[in-house]
Amino acid sequence: MPEKQRVLEAPTPPEAAPTPARERPRGARRVLGAVERYAVPGLLVVLVVVFSSVTATSATFPTQANLSNLLAGQAVLGVAALAVLVPIVAGQYDLSVGAVLGASALLCAGLMSRHDVPPVLAILAVVLIGALVGLINGYVVAYLGVNSLIVTTATATVISGFVLWYSGSLTIVGVPPSIIDATNGTWLAVPKLVFGLAVVAALVYVMLRYTPYGRYLYAIGSNARAAALVGLDVPRLTCSTLVFSAALAALAGVAQLGLQGSASPQLGPGFTLPALSAVFLGSTTIRPGTFNVPGTVIAVYLVAVIVNGLTLAGAADWVQPTFNGGALLGAVVLAAVISRRRARRQPA
């Protein structure tokens, strides 16, 4: 009996630790990471080669006129996408970017042609008015706690009413040649607006990537409550992103005015959806899972090349809006998948 008692009281051996799941070899992880980062730029290159080679588009797509129009036209959308990007980094959405862009083009044209305001003063005025619109959006979102989707959608609706009233539903013409000359034409065989986009993209990139302000915005977008606990002024920073977004959208409106030489009441709303698509699609490349400037610019031109190539191949008019909507849906889904995959890889 004592011997039996000793056996019963003997300590049980510890359970073996669970075997960790097999991890992919390091080389495979590097390859997958490279595919994630550079799949979208690679697809852009492939599409340019395809549309330049296939019979249906080889005579029109690779021409200098088509490529110049493509690069210049999408430069304005690129600036609008960067305007959308900044508040998204901080977890907010500005759906009034297209409306601000269109209204700024219209107001700038009206100030110069109807009221003889000098071009420099007219541009400065519309950018300041755009910033004021952003300040109103930012105050309501950041300090009153209203959802940014609701606020900016309401703002876009109000602006559309202003546009119809100010224009009388008519296109405003009479833009000074100085504005047209500044935005049209080429430097070193590259459209001038592409250089403008490059400057804006570089400034936004440096701001978000290498300044404390940019790091604060990413921190707020990641976890606003934690950012507040470490001492960040979350309302002020959030408000500033919407001010920046609207001011940049106003500047894009001026560029579009110079590109077209006139301002139509229907100009602005068509920019919002493609800009959102570019921002979300851009978050799946270069720095997957993070909203970033290079990915956004690449995504702008990827979608543009696809639509341009299909149009030259004889696609119907409904292809462009359908593709833009599908691109936004696909980009959001892909961004969510990449974000979840990266979250699972992080240690607890």
Per-residue pLDDT at 152: 97
pTM value? 0.86
Which residues is 186 bridged to in the sheet? 191
Per-residue pLDDT at 10: 46
Residue 162 CA to residue 168 CA, distance in Å, equals: 10
266 in Cβ contact with 163 (< 8 Å): no
Burial of 268 (C-beta count, 10 Å sphere; 0-12/13-18/19+): buried
Domains in the chain (CATH in brackets) are 42-338 (1.10.3470)
- State the number of CA atoms in the 13 A half-sphere of 41 facing the CB: 15
- 24 residue type, one letter: R
Which residues is 172 bridged to in the sheet? 263
Pick from 311, 318, 70: which is nearest to 191 by CA? 70
pLDDT, tens only, 40-53: 888 899 989 999 99
Q: What percent of the chain has pLDDT over 90?
A: 56
pLDDT, tens only, 209-260: 999 999 999 999 999 999 999 999 999 999 999 999 999 999 999 999 999 9
- 204 residue type, one letter: V
pLDDT, tens only, 87-124: 999 999 999 999 999 999 999 999 999 899 999 999 99
CB contact set of 287 (below 8 Å; sequence gap of 6+): 37, 295
Burial of 137 (C-beta count, 10 Å sphere; 0-12/13-18/19+): buried
pLDDT, tens only, 188-204: 888 999 999 999 999 99
